[in-house]
């Protein structure tokens, strides 16, 4: 999803609710739960895990006496969604997911095991982020841009491959679109999250990875991989020296994405508002902002209505992209 300026201003305004006011709203809306779970579908150590843990630790004391994170990996992020949709809508179990599993998968699976609208209740956006495309040590050090990498792949079709955190996700399609723009069909390798893919990349098993910018930061700083491009409409503040894909000639490849919090369907409005207030209060705290920034994530809250609108907009945008690519997860 590429945020428009008006949408960014709207969401930034929503996120500026004073922390004390949000805590007061959360405390006023019903009894505190004994425990709460934040469920995500990706491996520990990645950006989904980081957002989950930063919020889980802030659910006490206003929302729950104790909170913890569950990483239910598998089926390209679907296992976590399937699990959460089956749980009671009492607010004790919430989902943290990137947009891809909700806005893109309906276009790639003929029989998706969940309905993103009917089975889930939007609560709040948790963060926004850009994607990056990086290469590891199996790619010559002279390769410093995406066009240079694609040219290198053309002469070595057996090396024209990349990994991503999930099949049918935004970074998967970004990699495919990059290859096609360069006149090659790159082989995609799906992983259970970006971290396993990156570890294979720096170990030389795959040449490149498409994933959230924040997932690469520690490895770039350590000199273990090179970030060739970022997907945002402008350069990422977390990688200011890396040009955008648009700057490198890929005019239509400007994408950003969000992580969103959801409850099971039919969650009571007061439960939704209580959790929304707690999450937005947590996102306004400096340690949360800084902790997410360390992973290349912008802390960003929203109202439930704004999250629902963002999902609807992104679902429509990706409909045409998926059709152009011709990908089906059922084949």
Instruction: Find tokens 């004391």 and name the residue.
Output: 61
Q: What is the mean pLDDT for each group of 10 consecutive residues in the chain (331 residues)? A: 40 47 50 96 92 97 97 94 98 97 95 96 98 98 97 92 94 96 94 94 98 95 98 96 98 95 98 98 98 96 98 96 91 67
Q: Supply the pLDDT for residue 14.
A: 46
Please, where in the chain does CATH 3.40.190.150 lie?
A: 5-128+257-325
197, 206 Cβ separation under 8 angstroms: yes
Q: Supply the pLDDT for residue 4.
A: 39
SS3 293: helix
Predicted TM-score (pTM) of this structure: 0.84
Dist CA 201 CA 224 (whole Å): 9
Beta bridge partners of 262: 95, 122
Determine the distance from the C-alpha atom of residue 232 to the mean position of all C-alpha atoms in its chain, rounded to a whole number: 13
**DSSP H/E element including 264:** strand 256-264
Assess whether the previous peptide bond of 61 is cis (omega < 30° from 0).
Answer: yes
Q: Supply the pLDDT for residue 331.
A: 67
CB-CB neighbours of 94 under 10 Å: 28
SS3 213: helix
Q: Supply the pLDDT for residue 31.
A: 86
Q: Quick one: DSSP state of residue 297?
A: -
Please, where in the chain does CATH 3.40.190.10 lie?
A: 130-230
Tokens linked to 26: 């959360």
Name the CATH superfamily housing domain 5-128+257-325: Bordetella uptake gene, domain 1 (3.40.190.150)
Task: Select the CATH number that applies to the domain covering 130-230 from these four: 3.40.50.720, 2.50.20.10, 3.30.43.10, 3.40.190.10.
Answer: 3.40.190.10
Supply φ then ψ for residue 298, to 5 degrees: -95, 120
Dist CA 265 CA 36 (whole Å): 17
164, 209 Cβ separation under 8 angstroms: yes
Tokens linked to 45: 């150590």
58, 239 Cβ separation under 8 angstroms: no
SS3 sequence, 52-84?
HHHHHCCCCCCCECCEEEEECCCHHHHHHHHHH
85, 265 Cβ separation under 8 angstroms: yes
Q: Supply the pLDDT for residue 30.
A: 64
Instruction: Find tokens 């011709």 and name the residue.
Output: 326
Dist CA 223 CA 205 (whole Å): 17
Dist CA 140 CA 152 (whole Å): 9
122, 311 Cβ separation under 8 angstroms: yes
140, 64 Cβ separation under 8 angstroms: no
């Amino acid at each position: 999803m590429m945020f428009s300026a008006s949408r960014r201003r709207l969401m930034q305004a929503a996120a500026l609710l004073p922390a004390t006011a949000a805590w007061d709203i959360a405390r006023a809306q019903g009894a505190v739960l004994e425990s709460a779970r934040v469920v995500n579908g990706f491996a520990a150590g990645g950006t989904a895990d980081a957002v989950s843990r930063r919020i889980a630790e802030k659910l006490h004391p206003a929302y729950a006496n104790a909170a913890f994170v569950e990483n239910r990996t598998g089926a390209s992020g679907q296992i976590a969604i399937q699990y959460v949709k089956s749980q009671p809508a009492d607010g004790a179990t919430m989902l943290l997911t990137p947009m891809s599993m909700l806005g893109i998968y309906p276009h790639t699976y003929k029989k998706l095991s969940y309905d993103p609208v009917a089975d889930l209740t939007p609560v709040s956006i948790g963060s926004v982020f850009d994607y990056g495309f990086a290469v590891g040590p199996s790619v010559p050090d002279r390769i410093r841009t995406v066009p240079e990498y694609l040219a290198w792949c053309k002469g070595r079709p057996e090396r024209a491959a990349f990994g991503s955190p999930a099949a049918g996700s935004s970074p998967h399609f970004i990699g495919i679109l990059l290859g096609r723009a360069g006149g090659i069909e790159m082989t995609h390798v799906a992983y259970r999250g970006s971290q396993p893919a990156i570890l294979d990349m720096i170990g030389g098993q795959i040449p490149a990875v498409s994933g959230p910018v924040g997932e690469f930061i520690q490895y770039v700083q350590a000199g273990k991989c090179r970030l060739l491009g970022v997907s945002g409409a402008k350069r990422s503040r977390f990688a200011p020296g890396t040009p955008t894909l648009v700057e490198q000639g890929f005019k239509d490849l400007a994408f950003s994405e969000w992580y969103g919090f959801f409850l099971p369907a039919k969650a009571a409005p007061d439960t939704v508002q209580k959790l929304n207030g707690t999450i937005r209060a947590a996102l306004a705290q400096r340690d949360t902002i800084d902790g997410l920034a360390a992973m290349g994530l912008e802390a960003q809250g929203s109202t439930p209505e704004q999250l629902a609108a963002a999902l609807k907009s992104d679902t429509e945008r990706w409909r045409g992209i998926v059709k152009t690519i011709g990908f089906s997860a059922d084949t």
